[in-house]
């Protein structure tokens, strides 16, 4: 039973870190650009397929593929910012949401048209298992752990110690105060898309290797988990999203633990995330770390 518990903790931490990384990007976009980006899931899909092209078609290794996916997705996010979202800003929350929904549909169906609906996988051994005493991890999970061990601390240091990271948090926290203290809002607005795109790129690759297989619905399926992470952490709070992703990942995995009255059936894990979201909106809409203020 405890072995099961340890295994679930590992799985939860892996899923949680992926959610945390993508959630940080989404929450900063939410806070800085005032956009609920419904195309965010498709950025992950785009990254996974970019990785697939580099990895499976061009024969590059997974590290190169990840770098390529990160850069490509960051450029995609930046391009959409300058081509579509920035010219259309000021349309109001609801109109902007609908625009990102439209962008998401377009991106997803371009992937469907180009890559086809069949299930794909990155060139990684799906059958191998590493036995580490009490827990077993797949090569995909090992890659995910390796990447997050580098990226998560780097992200935390970037947000806490660099000028750009601090400026991003400041703009997300209070746009007007940040502007009069001399922060170039426009520049930060572009940087945040690069950051969010890059993190979505990592997230897309990680989901692809952890799940093993994926299809063009990869990103859309996790979109609401990303949004739940954002709300759980408090909209605009980067550290909140880091913690919330981990919490959500652990809640979903540990709910299936056999020590917990037999545990929840795994197929109800997404339902649990939905219930979490609804309860959160009911009792603590500002999230775990957000400030209570009139929205």
Partner 1 sequence: MGVFNPAFWIFVSVIAGIYAIMALGLYVQFSLAGLPNFGHVAFMAVAAYTMAILAVRYQVPLLWSSLAGIVAAIALAFIFGIPTLRLRADYLAIATVAGGEIIRYLAMNLPDLTGGPVGSMAMLGPTKLAMYNGGWQAMLGAISRAVSSFLGVTLSRDAVMAAIVWILAALLIILIWRLERSPWGRVQKGIREDDVAVAAVGKDVVAFKMQALVLGAVLGGLSGLLLAFQIGVFSPDDFLPTLTFYAYLILILGGSNRIYAIPVGAIAFSLLYSGTRFLNFFPLSLFDSGSRAFLRLFLVGALLVLFMALRPQGLLGDRRQLMLEK
> Which C-beta is closer to partner 1: that of 60 or that of 97?
97
Instruction: Supply the minimum distance, in Å, between the C-beta of residue 217 and partner 1.
Output: 10
Closest contact distance (angstroms) between CB of 39 and partner 1 is 9
CB of 285 to partner 1, least distance (A): 5
138 vs 255, which CB is nearer to partner 1?
A: 255
* DSSP letter assigned to residue 149: H
Nearer to partner 1, 68 or 236 (CB): 236
Structure tokens at 121: 């996988």
Enter the tokens of residue 290.
């957000």
In whole angstroms, the minimum distance from the beta carbon of 293 to partner 1 comes to 11
Residues with Cβ within 8 Å of residue 41, at least 6 apart in sequence:
104, 218, 219, 220, 221, 222, 223, 226
Let me know: does 32 contact 170? Beta carbons within 8 Å.
no
CB of 266 to partner 1, least distance (A): 10
Binding footprint of partner 1 on the chain (CB under 8 A): 36, 38, 84, 87-88, 91-95, 97-99, 101-110, 112-113, 117, 220-221, 223-224, 227-228, 231, 267-268, 270-271, 273-274, 277-279, 281-282, 285, 295
* Sequence-distant contacts of 172-177: CB under 8 A, at least 24 apart: 172/27, 172/28, 172/30, 172/31, 172/32, 172/236, 172/237, 172/238, 173/31, 173/236, 175/32
- Of the pair 60, 221, the CB lying nearest partner 1 is at 221
Structure tokens, 115: 């890559």
Q: Which is nearer to partner 1, 5 or 224 (CB)?
A: 224
């Amino acid at each position: 039973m405890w072995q099961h518990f340890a295994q679930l903790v590992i799985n939860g931490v892996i899923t949680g870190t992926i959610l945390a990384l993508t959630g940080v990007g989404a929450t900063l976009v939410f806070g800085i650009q005032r956009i609920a980006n419904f195309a965010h899931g498709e950025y992950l899909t785009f990254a996974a397929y970019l990785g697939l092209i580099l990895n499976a078609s061009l024969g590059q290794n997974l590290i190169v593929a990840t770098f390529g996916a990160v850069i490509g997705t960051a450029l995609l996010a930046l391009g959409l910012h300058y081509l579509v979202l920035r010219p259309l800003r000021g349309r109001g929350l609801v109109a902007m949401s609908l625009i990102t929904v439209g962008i998401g549909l377009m991106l997803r169906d371009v992937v469907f048209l180009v890559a086809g609906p069949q299930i794909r996988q990155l060139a990684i051994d799906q059958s191998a298992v590493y036995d580490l005493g009490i827990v077993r991890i797949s090569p995909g999970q090992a890659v995910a752990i390796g990447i997050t061990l580098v990226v998560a601390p780097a992200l935390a240091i970037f947000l806490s110690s660099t000028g750009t990271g601090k400026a991003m948090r400041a703009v997300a926290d209070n746009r007007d105060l940040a502007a009069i203290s001399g922060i170039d809002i426009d520049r930060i607005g572009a940087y945040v898309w690069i950051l969010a795109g890059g993190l979505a790129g990592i997230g897309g690759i990680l989901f692809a290797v952890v799940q093993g297989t994926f299809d063009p619905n990869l990103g859309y399926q996790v979109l609401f988990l990303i949004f739940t992470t954002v709300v759980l952490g408090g909209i605009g709070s980067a550290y909140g999203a880091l913690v919330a992703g981990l919490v959500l990942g652990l809640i979903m995995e540990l709910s299936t633990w056999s020590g917990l009255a037999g545990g929840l059936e795994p197929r109800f894990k997404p339902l649990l995330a939905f219930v979490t979201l609804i309860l959160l909106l009911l009792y603590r809409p500002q999230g775990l770390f957000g400030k209570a203020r009139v929205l």
